[in-house]
Amino acid sequence: MKHLMNHEKHYVTLNNYLKDRFGDKVTKVSLNAGFTCPTRDGTKSTIGCCFCSKLLSGDFAGNVNDDLKTQFQKGVEMQSKKWKSTTYIAYLQAGSNTYAPIEKLRQVYYEVINLDENIKVLSIATRPDCINSEVVELLKEVNEKCEVWVELGFQTSNPISAIKINRRYSNQDFVNAVNMLNAAGIKVIAHMINGLPDETLYDMINTAKFLSQLDLFGIKIHMLHIMEGTPMAVRHKKLPYKLLTLDEYATITAEQLRLFSTSVVIHRLTGDAPKDLLLAPKWTLKKFVVLNEIDKYMRILNIYQGDQCTKHTN
């Protein structure tokens, strides 16, 4: 997919991929099906990952008090203000969306893909320890009706950092989940976070190196957000973390992109956080500034996604 890069964007953007893949505009509608998480329900913990909001990373998803049809319709109405004509990715965003009895999952997945004939993709956010053979068989079944993507939180390859953020699964758990999904023909998107407490440039580059050796469809890179109501916020107020600057984040992210094959789609290079909940870093609120700094760094140095990749490119 190297042809999807250009002078402005030295990496394979999701927008360019979708236009190339589907031939028209595709937008994302985020949904909240009310799923929980093993680090919230007491199975592994009750506090969740330390950076995760009370809405289980679904702050911009639909209102869980609305049914899925209503959530989707509201999302479509918002998208129609920006684009007159579009098709959709239905994104089950909040919580771990493979963490429920299999019949509940089947009911939700089929309900979502049947909400609108213009839904091109069902994207499912979850954790690798919530992937098992029964879930994979269901995803494979649904994938025959509507293209399915699975988004797996990973955040860091540093096992000490993983403990600090209360991740509660191993790097091998992640690899096992990716392999199972790949074997079933399900596209996998991995999430990583830059700027976790006490992590160095070496740690963040190593996380990218680790992920770059796996068969991934896509990557989402986030900056650590300190959000009100999270365990990290409590700690930050007492003893503030040393957070990355905008320049540091742009440099690190650009250098990480160089490690990924051009067969990997870059789904996100900076995350969103609700303005009223974000304690730090405030520069993340200026999303387009962040993207521009990454683009500028890559253009000035004439570096591209994949130019330091050590994995075979398809």
Q: Where are the domains of the chain?
A: 2-301
- What is the C-alpha to C-alpha distance for residues 15 and 283, in angstroms, rounded to an integer? 24
Q: What is the mean pLDDT of residues 82-98?
A: 92
Please tell me the number of Cα atoms within 13 Å of 178 on its side-chain side.
23
Cβ–Cβ under 8 Å, residues 280 and 226: yes
What's residue 58's pLDDT?
A: 66
Considering just the CA atoms, what is the radius of gyration of the chain in Å?
A: 19
What's residue 57's pLDDT?
A: 76
Q: What is the mean pLDDT of residues 250-268?
A: 98
- Going by pLDDT thresholds of 50, 70 and 90, the confidence category of residue 314 is very low
Please check whether the domain covering 2-301 is classified as CATH 1.10.1740.10. no
- What is the C-alpha to C-alpha distance for residues 104 and 100, in angstroms, rounded to an integer? 6
What's residue 312's pLDDT?
A: 60
Cα first-last separation, the chain: 9
C-alpha distances out from residue 300 to 74, 137, 276, 297, Å: 41, 47, 35, 5
- Going by pLDDT thresholds of 50, 70 and 90, the confidence category of residue 53 is confident
Q: Identify the bridge partners of residue 221 per DSSP, sorted by sequence position.
A: 192
- Going by pLDDT thresholds of 50, 70 and 90, the confidence category of residue 273 is confident
- What is the C-alpha to C-alpha distance for residues 203 and 135, in angstroms, rounded to an integer? 32
Calculate what percentage of the chain has a pLDDT beyond 70.
99
Cβ–Cβ under 8 Å, residues 97 and 38: no
Which residues, at least 6 apart from 169, have a Cβ–Cβ distance to it below 8 Å? 127, 128, 129, 162
Cβ–Cβ under 8 Å, residues 306 and 262: yes
Question: SS3 for 133-187, per residue?
Answer: HHHHHHHHHHHCCCEEEEEEEEECCCHHHHHHCCCCCCHHHHHHHHHHHHHCCCE
- What is the C-alpha to C-alpha distance for residues 194 and 254, in angstroms, rounded to an integer? 12
Helix, strand counts (H, E) of the chain: 10, 9
Tokens 């896509």, residue located? 218
- What is the C-alpha to C-alpha distance for residues 88 and 129, in angstroms, rounded to an integer? 28
What's residue 291's pLDDT?
A: 97
Q: What is the pLDDT of residues 12-52, one digit of tens each?
A: 999 999 999 999 899 999 999 999 999 999 999 999 999 99
Range of lowest pLDDT (80-89, 105-114, 116-125, 220-229): 80-89
Range of lowest pLDDT (53-57, 130-134, 265-269): 53-57
